A and B are shown apart, each in its own frame.
Chain A
Amino acid sequence: MKNDPLAAAVRDTYDAVHVPAYPAGLVAAKRLARGPRSAPSRGLRFALAGAVGLLAGALFAVLPWPQHDRMVALFARDVIGASRETAVTRTVSLDDARRLARFPVIVPAGVPVDSVRIGADNASVQLVVEPRRGDRVLMVERAADGDDATSNWISGSTSLTVLGESDGTIVQRLRQATAHP
């Protein structure tokens, strides 16, 4: 702090300024007006944001269709084919899908199937398969024109969509997993 006469004079001047009484009533009234909850701390806000993120991730993983479809449409990356299923679909078991579909539903052998949905006209089936833990692929199948539609799962599918992050080899792993059905 500067200690020359001018600085001292300035300090004296402002020190001599009469300060009104502390407005305790005003502070209390403003607090009441703001409500009983004070603003959360920065750490708490980060924690809340993290919790919301986790919740959103969990919802993405478990939400039933068609919310899932919308998420896929927003974030997924097409690997084969560009068509997307926009028709109304419903969740069914794999057995029901095989029974209801107007074409043979092809399932990659040895690859777990997470969920199955069938189109409203039973003309298409959506399968979410997991060729490896963490890898999830959406397969959309329709009746194929070729005679070999039932002989190869990839020809039975009209599109494959990698769900979530992809290192570019998910479909390759899917092929490898089903190389010897």
Chain B
Amino acid sequence: MTDDVRAAQAGDGGARDRVLRAFWPRAYRLAYAVLHQRAAAEDAAQEALIRVDARLNDLRDADAFAVWSARIAVNAGRDAFRRRRAHGALHEAEGAERFEDEAALRLDVSRALAALPAWLREPVILCYLEGFTSAQAGEALGAPAATIRFRLQLARRRLTALLVERSCVSEEHAG
């Protein structure tokens, strides 16, 4: 990926296309993590994709692409969230959609995640799905690493409590 980013910055159109295509599912899932609403997440992910395409040449360190692009995706999600909230289209606790075709566990985890506020959900998605360290997640979210660790811990407690209620995760794994 880093090589493709460098090549894209050097003007390689094929590499740029590969970078953007690889970024797309990440952008969508990150936007979805913020919004928990599919249509809105798609709009936000498209916005993130356009921003990454437009600003790719501004990225100084190609190795930092993952964190840099994640920050763009999260910010696009946050912007969409604010717009929707301003228009009364979304309330944070009401954003969850049902995964009709998914297993019960996934459904419950999804519901539990949807029940979290975005500021707790974002560190979870960045650290667990993207594999970021708390420092990288902090960089992407504009918060100190210690704050991310605190939010992550709080999110885990809330998720565990919600899932234990549904007996999805045994208490021995909690925390």
**Interface residue A172 (Cβ < 8 Å from any Cβ of B):** no
Contact across chains for B113 and A23 when beta carbons are under 8 A apart: no
A41 to B59, CA, bound (A): 9
A7 to B159, CA, bound (A): 10
Residue in B11, B45, B54, B168 whose beta carbon sits within 8 Å of that of A34 in the complex? B54
Interfacial residues of chain A within 14-30, with CB under 8 A of chain B in the complex: 14-17, 19-20, 22-23, 26-27, 30
Residue in A13, A16, A39 whose beta carbon sits within 8 Å of that of B54 in the complex? A39
Which residue of B has the minimal Cβ distance to A44? B57
**Interface residue B119 (Cβ < 8 Å from any Cβ of A):** no
Contact across chains for A9 and B168 when beta carbons are under 8 A apart: yes
Residues A41 and B109 in contact in the complex (CB < 8 Å), given A6-B169, A23-B46? no
**Interface residue B81 (Cβ < 8 Å from any Cβ of A):** no
- The count of residues in chain B whose C-beta lies closer than 8 Å to any C-beta of chain A is 42
Contact across chains for A22 and B55 when beta carbons are under 8 A apart: no
- The count of residues in chain A whose C-beta lies closer than 8 Å to any C-beta of chain B is 29
**Do most interface residues of chain A lie in helix, strand or loop, or is the interface mixed?**
helix
Contact across chains for A16 and B106 when beta carbons are under 8 A apart: yes
**Interface residue A12 (Cβ < 8 Å from any Cβ of B):** yes
Q: Which residues from chain B contact A1 at a C-beta distance below 8 Å?
A: 127-128, 131
Residue in A4, A12, A30, A34 whose beta carbon sits within 8 Å of that of B173 in the complex? A4
Interface set of A (CB-CB < 8 Å, partner B): 1-2, 4-7, 9-17, 19-20, 22-23, 26-27, 30-31, 34, 38-42
Between-chain CB contacts (< 8 Å), 20 pairs: A2-B127, A6-B163, A6-B169, A6-B173, A6-B174, A9-B163, A10-B113, A10-B125, A11-B128, A12-B109, A14-B125, A14-B129, A16-B99, A16-B102, A17-B28, A20-B28, A23-B46, A30-B54, A38-B57, A41-B9
Interface set of B (CB-CB < 8 Å, partner A): 9, 11, 20-21, 24-25, 28-29, 32-33, 42, 45-46, 49-50, 53-55, 57-58, 60, 99, 102, 105-106, 109-110, 113, 124-125, 127-129, 131, 156, 159-160, 163, 168-169, 173-174
8 more A-B contacts (CB under 8 A) besides A13-B110, A42-B60?
A: A5-B173, A6-B156, A9-B106, A10-B124, A16-B102, A19-B29, A20-B45, A39-B58
